[in-house]
Amino acid sequence: MSRKFRDGEVRDFWDLKDFPVPKGRKIRDIIDSVLMRRGYIGEVSITAYGEKDPEDNPLENGITFVHRRDKYWRLNKILVDFALAAADNHEPHLVQLTLMVVAENIKKDTEFFHLLRNVNSIRFNVLLVVPDVCHPEEVPLPFVSLAWRWTDLLQGGDPMPETELLALLDRGKQEFIW
């Protein structure tokens, strides 16, 4: 992580249907553990999207829950919220903002895919969580700052090494925007 994002705010957008919270775990604990391990010390806000608050793991205080049943509408709402968070930061060169997406199947030729890629290229720090088995030939990954595999995120582990992320991006035939 770049030192400039260490103190900045982190906004997390989590699709509970794609990545359900394991029983006995809390979203905040999972996110905080990986971010603290990477050196982030800024404020973290979390928005979770799904069909319902998980009954066996109610959302803890401070997490916003957005009710959306259908995958299309969940991703659409995440897209809108993500775009608003980026747009609210009028001076990304002064106010460092990290945007983290925990959702899968973000198709290449969608507004969301292009937004993730473009926001990452204009001085925002974009983090992504991908399924353990990821096929970028089928669902290409946008270029992001860091990406975790689902199991690594749950275990509080490190994101993918840069060489692995670049290899996945290459398999998906992505154009790199630095």
Any domain includes 177: no
Which CATH number is 9's domain given? Answer: 3.40.50
- Is residue 171 left, alpha or beta, with left meaning phi > 0 and alpha meaning psi from -120 to 50? alpha
82 membership: H or E segment, kind and range:
helix 71-88
Across 56-76, b (16+ Cβ under 10 Å) vs e yields ebebeeebebbebeeeeebbb
Q: Domain of 135? A: 3-171
Dihedrals phi, psi of 143, to nearest 5 degrees: -70, 125
- How many folded domains does the chain comprise? 1
Any domain includes 146: yes
Any domain includes 98: yes
Question: What is the reported pTM?
Answer: 0.83
Any domain includes 71: yes
Any domain includes 178: no
What pLDDT digit, counting tens, does each position of 117-174 carry? 676 666 778 888 888 887 666 656 677 788 899 999 999 999 989 888 888 777 766 5
